């Protein structure tokens, strides 16, 4: 079967002046620390990072290993190209849809409205082409999507085996009732088959990066000849041992491991074929098993001794200075840690299972051993008040000023469909939820109100946090003019989609 797989574009969020200042300082500090070995030429290619959709590329590799032919459609926005991503992709899809037996989309909550519009455009011209959607939004809203959109099938949670069985059933005109993890319409009724157990991801090939240029005209890439990935995201583990009330990945309990030989080969491929010079290990909990974390570090150190890497992890008080030293020896430059709030009561309410003291201690150990720290903070945590938000802002600013955090990311809390925070909203004091899913990006606008904070309260506190962030880094690293002199030409355009890909 010939299958088109489409990465729905996230709408560009209009940035306020303070957001632009925040992104300037956030990115500038990254360039001056963890990215300081990258050349000006690497930064000229950062716009290409938007096109890399690991989930779909992984699915393509799996389907092709099982005998199917796939083609990848992805948003691409070179500097100076003002064309809207969505409209451009619709034209490409309509020009090519007749070549395929099935078209599948992947969307997060913020990009779902675009995916639905794209599917509608395809349906009008190709009424008999089966349309499928997967991704974190689709499985949480499968009934609503099947009732109110043009999609015929929803693939829930992990998609590889479900997609393969769906394709096989359609090819052979077989019943869909045995396809676990699938929702669909049949004779006017919505059928939701039982969930599928998580698969052994250690058996998967690495993502099909060779498909990146499938539907990107050569002239769009000029003066380059291929998609480069100067900062590459890799996932030697997936899943998490925790279950925060707002996390959309709560259905991935426990940790699944990528085969380390496959991981090694992926890193080598990215360096040799995609110009990768820095790796972000998108592991929710890098230190969940410290011995295995060190094996991952040794593997990437062996594969990429001339480049550097960083990892996302939960706060873990078992991590010692000796462990940090071993990471440094393999090229580790930074650890990303979600702190979220400086109020312990709120941390407990959101299910973080960490303490502020442990978080600070882990940051200090990392910094003492030469590893930068990248901390995450949220405005609008469950039961947030003005007082708790200001406490978080002050703590974040203190950590930045003292160097405990090298840099920080600040986001509006988003309760995604399917999470406890969204589903049981009254339990968390929420009085209003935004019905426009295109706003669910964590940076454009608050998407709920509570008994304690109005939408405008949350927006004010968010912008206050951004302002205090900029003030802290200005005091620590200098004003914009001083930093620009240090950066030279190593600063790409402030496109929100690119920022999302980089960070």
Bridge partner residues of 338 (DSSP)? 376
Sign of CA dihedral 332, 338, 343, 348: negative
Match 């709920």 to its residue by tokens: 448
pLDDT computed for residue 497 by the predictor: 47
**474 by DSSP, 3-state: which?**
helix
CA distance 146 to 219: 38
Residue 270 in tokens: 């990215």
State how beta strands 332-340 and 308-313 pair: parallel
pLDDT computed for residue 500 by the predictor: 53
Q: Does the pLDDT value for residue 444 go beyond 60?
A: yes
* Least-confidence region, from 2-6, 32-36, 273-277, 487-491: 487-491
pLDDT band, very low/low/confident/very high, at 250 (cuts 50, 70, 90) = confident
Residue 216 in tokens: 């990107």
Bridge partner residues of 308 (DSSP)? 278
Find out whether 165 and 66 touch, Cβ atoms under 8 Å.
no
Percent of the residues in the chain that have a pLDDT greater than 70, as a whole number = 97
What is the third-level CATH fold of 19-48+227-416+453-502? TIM Barrel (3.20.20)
Q: Does the pLDDT value for residue 82 go beyond 50?
A: no
Find out whether 19 and 87 touch, Cβ atoms under 8 Å.
no
Q: Which H or E element spans position 86?
A: helix 85-96
**82 by DSSP, 3-state: which?**
coil
* Higher-scoring residue by pLDDT: 324, 490: 324
CA distance 358 to 363: 9
Residue 460 in tokens: 């004010």
Q: Does the pLDDT value for residue 493 go beyond 60?
A: no
CA distance 132 to 207: 20
Residue 4 in tokens: 């088109």
120-141: average pLDDT: 96
Find out whether 50 and 76 touch, Cβ atoms under 8 Å.
yes
Give 240's DSSP letter.
B
Q: Does the pLDDT value for residue 83 go beyond 60?
A: no
356-366: average pLDDT: 98
CA distance 493 to 79: 7
State how beta strands 237-238 and 256-257 pair: antiparallel
Find out whether 368 and 338 touch, Cβ atoms under 8 Å.
no
């Amino acid at each position: 079967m010939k299958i088109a797989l489409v990465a729905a574009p996230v709408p560009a969020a209009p940035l306020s002046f303070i957001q632009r200042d925040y992104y300037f300082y956030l990115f500038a500090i990254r360039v001056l620390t963890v990215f300081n070995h990258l050349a000006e030429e690497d930064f000229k290619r950062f716009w290409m990072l938007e096109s890399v959709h690991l989930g779909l590329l992984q699915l393509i590799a799996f389907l092709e290993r099982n005998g199917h032919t796939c083609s990848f459609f992805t948003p691409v926005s070179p500097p100076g190209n003002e064309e809207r991503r969505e409209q451009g992709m619709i034209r490409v899809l309509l020009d090519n849809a007749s070549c395929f037996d099935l078209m599948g989309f992947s969307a997060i909550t913020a990009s779902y409205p675009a995916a639905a519009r794209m599917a509608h455009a395809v349906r009008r011209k190709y009424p008999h082409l089966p349309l499928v959607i997967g991704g974190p939004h689709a499985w949480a809203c499968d009934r609503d999507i099947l009732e109110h959109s043009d999609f015929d099938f929803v693939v829930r949670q992990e998609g590889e085996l479900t997609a393969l069985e769906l394709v096989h059933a359609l090819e052979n005109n077989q019943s869909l009732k045995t396809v676990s993890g699938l929702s669909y319409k049949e004779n006017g009724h919505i059928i939701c088959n039982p969930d599928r157990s998580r698969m052994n991801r250690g058996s998967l090939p690495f993502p099909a990066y060779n498909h990146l240029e499938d539907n990107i005209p050569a002239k769009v890439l000029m003066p380059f000849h291929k998609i480069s990935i100067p900062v590459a995201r890799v996932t030697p583990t997936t899943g998490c041992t925790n279950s925060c009330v707002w996390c959309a990945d709560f259905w991935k309990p426990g940790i699944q491991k990528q085969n380390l030989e496959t991981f090694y080969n992926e890193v080598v491929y990215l360096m040799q074929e995609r110009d990768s010079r820095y790796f972000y290990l998108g592991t929710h909990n890098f230190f969940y098993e410290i011995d295995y974390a060190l094996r991952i570090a040794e593997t990437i150190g062996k594969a990429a001794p001339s480049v550097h890497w960083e990892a996302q992890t939960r706060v873990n008080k078992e991590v010692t200075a000796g462990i940090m030293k071993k990471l440094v020896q393999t090229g580790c430059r930074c650890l990303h840690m979600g702190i979220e709030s400086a109020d312990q009561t709120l941390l407990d309410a959101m299910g973080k299972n960490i303490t502020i003291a442990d978080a600070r201690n882990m940051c200090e150990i990392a910094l003492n051993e030469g590893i930068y720290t990248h901390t995450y903070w949220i405005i609008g945590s469950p039961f947030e008040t003005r007082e708790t938000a200001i406490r978080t802002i002050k703590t974040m600013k203190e950590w930045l000023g003292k160097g405990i955090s090298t840099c920080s990311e600040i986001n509006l809390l988003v309760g995604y469909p399917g999470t406890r925070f969204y589903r049981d909203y009254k339990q968390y004091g929420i009085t209003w939820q935004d019905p426009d899913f295109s706003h669910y990006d964590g940076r454009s606008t608050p998407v709920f109100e509570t008994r304690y904070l109005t939408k405008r309260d949350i927006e004010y506190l968010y912008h206050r946090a951004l302002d205090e962030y900029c003030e802290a880094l200005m005091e620590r690293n200098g004003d914009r003019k001083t930093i620009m002199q240090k950066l030279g030409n190593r600063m790409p355009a402030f496109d929100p989609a690119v920022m999302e890909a980089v960070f």
